Amino acid sequence: MKGMSIIVKKVAQLISGLIFLYGIYIITHGHLTPGGGFAGGAIIAGAYILNILAFGSDAMNLKNKEQGSSLSESLAIFIVLMLAVFALFIGSKIFFANYLPKGQLGEIISAGAIPLYNIFIGIEVAAAIITIFLALVIFKEEVKK
């Protein structure tokens, strides 16, 4: 897959950073405004896919990136599971209990463990979508050779 013209490359560079930041905002404000881990993760994956489409697959070292995204996906789902298991050891003995202090309603640091779950689910969704896309791109490259 070849890259596109220099105008598209520059615009993609400018836009993708903003989209990435918006995805992080959606994830971290998941318990206050619409959105959350799923939406933010998909937006971050979208920013990454925009970069790959604009710059083409030659400019990037896709194999290493695929390994990295696959690893971060596995780690993120492991951490989500560990956060849920961790509740078993702290007093309540309930799987998925919300063991951290709740804080003030409407503050950004509130809602106990929910922002943590949001962040790691976001990483998991983003890494899974990026892995699927990179697998398709690498398959196309290898068939052409």
Partner 1 sequence: MIVYILCFILFLVGLYGLITRRNLIKIVISLSIMEFSVFLFLVIIGYIDAGVAPIVELSNQNVIYVDPLPQAMVLTAIVIGLATTAMLLAIAIRLYRKYKTFDIREINNLRG
Partner 2 sequence: MELTLSILIGFMILGAIFAIHAKDLLSAVITTGIVGYSLVIAFLLLKAPDLAIVQIVIETITLIIMVAVVLDSTREELKVKPDFKSYSNIVLSIIFAAVLLFFFVQATAELNLFGDHTLRMAEAYVDQAAEKTGSINLVTGILFDFRGYDTLGEATILFAAALGVLTVLRIKGKK
Question: CB under 8 A: which stretch of 4-12, 29-37, 55-63 binds partner 2?
Answer: 29-37
**Among the candidate windows 4-12, 56-64, 78-86, which touches partner 2 by CB under 8 A?**
78-86
Q: Is residue 117 at the binding interface for partner 2, with CB under 8 A as the rule?
A: yes
Contact yes or no for 37/122 (Cβ under 8 A): yes
Tokens 């298991």 sit on residue: 85
Nearest to 74 by CA among 133, 135, 130, 123: 123
Residue closer to partner 1 by CB (options 34, 101) is 34
Vertex 55: Cα angle to 50 and 61 (nearest 5): 100
Query: Contact region for partner 1 (CB under 8 A) — 7-15, 29-37, 71-79, 87-95?
Result: 29-37
Q: How many CA within 13 A on the CB side of residue 42?
A: 4
- Alpha-carbon distances, residue 9 vs 4, 18, 40, 136 (angstroms): 7, 15, 24, 22
Q: Rounded CA gap, 14 and 80, in Å?
A: 33
Asked whether position 24 contacts partner 2 by CB under 8 A, the answer is no
- The binding site for partner 2 (CB under 8 A) comprises 26, 30-36, 38-39, 42-43, 45-46, 49, 53, 66, 70, 73-74, 77, 80-81, 84, 95-96, 98, 102-103, 105-106, 110-114, 117-118, 121, 124-125, 127-129, 131-133, 135-140, 142-143
- The binding site for partner 1 (CB under 8 A) comprises 33-34, 36, 38, 42, 105-106, 125, 128-129, 132, 135-136, 139, 143
